[in-house]
Chains A and B, each alone.
Chain A
Amino acid sequence: MRLTALDEVCERIGLKRGQGLAEARAMFPKIDVIDEDERADAALLEALADWCDRYTPLVALDGKNGLFLDITGCAHLFGGEEALLGDILKRLHHMGFDVKGVISSSPGLSWATCRFGKAGVIPEGLLEEALAPLPVNALRIGETTIASLHKLGLKRIGDLLTMPRAPLARRFGTQLLLRLDQARGANEEAISPRRPVSALSAERKLTEPVAAEDHILELTRHIATSLKSGLEARGVGGRMFELVLFRVDGRVFRITAGASQPLRDPARISALFSERLTAVHDDLDAGYGFELLRLNVLQHDTYKTTQGDFTGEGEGEISLADFIDKVSARLGVDCLQIAILRQSHVPERAMIFAPAITTPSAPEKTAFPFPFAPRTDRPLRLFRHPEEVKTFAATVPDGPPSRFRWRHVVHTVIQAEGPERIAPEWWLEETDVPERDYFRLESKAGRRFWIFREGHYNAKEDAPTWRMHGLFA
């Protein structure tokens, strides 16, 4: 067992990371040791990254104990880089974290300075001066490279900066030069943010935290109002929204809500979240309240602008879309579905259900509304798994049964139409699926069934099975 992390006191008394536990105990018998829980550490770092979303949408995780924040274009919102860094450090310190932070123009330099140098903001022109005194360990290079650099007496980055590049590349590989360039800012390095950047987003900072749902919705409406101009400028409306709630103690909640049509109207956007909040009610623990609310537009679509007329036409469409949105937000996207007909002869493949919210409601958008219209009647209800039916007598070889038993009840067939032979789709089936002969039967009581025979009657094999597949009106 080895030490993986140390607190301030242990660092001061001279313990080191990687030291054996027995050795450390021998030196200081009184130290407290806690097992490392990598998953919990990662979750904590994720939560911190979530919290950092308030400063910039581009937050990336860095190893086990670091975060990269791309604050390009964000610093002025917080009163400059110094103030931003001060704010982050102060808030994290109050949460109980010991944090070092550096702002510089390249991720590599920030990483290096943060771990080996003096924290703070590094001005644009002083890159090399800041980099030169740092040890070569600060370059994010492999252990062997570091060891061989040390052997040659190259201990500081400044030593490398003055050397000719070609011999360095020949001796230590291109990785060293790449890292060096990245640290100097000569080679652009991209961080990989955890979340996609939303197309549009707006937020509201609160001096007094809110907890009540009504207030959250009211604020959402306000924020949506400020988003509206942005949506209008792009000629789009939002299809998927995300409401991010930052709780006072640093926890972050994200609630997404979809819309069936591109939306701009603040009232309708806030109505979406009113249903979502009801649905997630138990999971949303407001605690001491939320201090920051942000509304992101995750997906958007072209907004069809239509001019309202005096007769109020076109309102029907809105109320239908509203209804679909409302139900999907409350009961889930899969609750409300529409049927899409497919090009297949096999009855169970002739259609699929798709969520109504993702499918354009206007029928003209579908190129072929009826890809395959069977010539014969199809039932109104179809069993997902055709149920086996016991037949007592059937006209051999191709006829319908004259009596059959389904769910313990014997039905006497009075009329029959068929057979309609539906062959398996050999281009899809992997195994040998028998053909089906469908019959439309009417029982003595007047019930109409759709029943099929799997395979054929022949002398070699057992009698084929009959299955009930659907019910007619």
Chain B
Amino acid sequence: MAGNARAQETIFALREQIAKLEGRPLPALAAAEQADLAQDPENHASRLDQPRLLLGVDAVDNALEGGLPLDGMTEIRTTLTADTGPATGFALALASQLKKQEDADAPILWMGDVVSTQEGGAPYPPGLKQFGLNPQDILYASPRKLEDALWLAETALVSGALSATIFEIRGNPKHFGLTESRRLALRAKTAGRPLFLLRHVAAEEASSASFRLLVEPAPAAGRRLPDGSVLGGSIGHPVFRLTLEKSRNPAPLSFLLEWNPHDRQFSLGPDTDRDTGEAFTHGNSPTHPGTRLSASADRQDRPKTLGSVVAFEQAS
């Protein structure tokens, strides 16, 4: 009996440790909170109020366990260079949503990546006004090396002077591994400020981000007229096709989100007639299909062959 009880205790201790690592409320505390709730509902509410960025769409917020963490790292990933636009848009929409939620003066730091700037264009502040952000609210940094960028991201998080940091990285550089991502995630946690990691043309990779979203383009609905009808032949609010790749949910969740820059809020994407099914396939086929070149900065030319593949697991 005594041995059994000790084993139980060990298991509880381990569970608590895991819960602490994952940033969840401790199981033992959950019961106490239930008791608190009975006595003092308001206090409870404030206690549960972990810093979260609400997207304002219930289904999504539930999947994100109440929103994106404001004291952690969120990864936003694309698979193609051509998706730089939607990824940039989604990251900036999150920043704008954050500004609206917090109503703070602190600026947002945009850390650009040299290659992404060449391939996907430089950030263009005049476009921000119609996107729900004040162009003067953004500081642009262009570190030359990844080491500088990491130092800068860390300094930005530690200073606590910025409302959010958007860190652009292209691909999966060798020097940005689990250690670096863990370090940044911890910094974000201590500072209580969010870090959005914008990874262009990146493969899924283990990281310390609590959520990873894959951004793909999606057709927009037409512009809405004041009487509620849709103006034909127009391109309305931007729509993103998002896949929640990493979260505590076992299955990846895919959904369309529309960003309304005027009201600065997200809504579930439109069911457009234009959706031909073909629209969501990855890109258009190249004109001259040939062997794909490996996109291999800092990577081996091809994946190493393993022995026998039993099952593919989702990297997390």
Contact = CB atoms under 8 A, between A and B. Distances in A.
B218 A415 contact: no
B140 interface: yes
Interface in B203-258: 216-220, 222, 233-235, 238-241
Contact of B86 (A331, A444, A473): A473
B284 A444 contact: yes
A373 B129 contact: yes
A380 B131 contact: yes
B225 to A, nearest CB: 15
Contacts of A310: none
B127 A379 contact: yes
B121 A341 contact: no
Interface residues of A, number: 60
A408 B105 contact: no
A353 B106 CA distance: 19
A472 B85 contact: yes
B41 to A, nearest CB: 28
A408 B127 contact: no
Interface stretch (A125-133, A152-160, A320-328): A320-328
A199 interface: no
Given A444-B279, A473-B86, A414 B139 contact: no
A414 B219 contact: yes
Interface stretch (B8-16, B23-31, B68-76, B158-166): B158-166
A78 B135 CA distance: 55
A356 B131 CA distance: 23
B150 to A, nearest CB: 12
A447 to B, nearest CB: 5
B136 A338 contact: yes
A410 B152 CA distance: 39
A410 B138 contact: no
A363 B92 contact: no
A353 B139 CA distance: 10
Contacts of A178: none
Given A337-B142, A444-B279, A378 B126 contact: yes
B88 A381 contact: yes
B189 to A, nearest CB: 18
Given A381-B121, A409-B287, A412-B284, A337 B141 contact: yes
B233 A380 contact: no
Contact of A473 (B81, B92, B121): B92
B140 A353 contact: yes
Given A378-B129, A445-B281, A473-B86, 15 more contacts: A326-B159, A331-B143, A335-B141, A337-B141, A351-B125, A353-B140, A380-B124, A415-B235, A415-B274, A417-B233, A417-B235, A443-B217, A446-B216, A446-B220, A473-B92
Interface of A: 316, 319-320, 322-324, 326-327, 330-331, 334-339, 341, 347, 350-351, 353, 356, 363, 366, 369-370, 373-374, 377-384, 405, 407-412, 414-417, 440, 442-449, 470-473
Interface of B: 81-86, 88-90, 92-93, 105-107, 120-131, 134-136, 138-144, 148, 151-152, 155-156, 159-162, 216-220, 222, 233-235, 238-241, 259, 274, 276, 278-281, 283-288
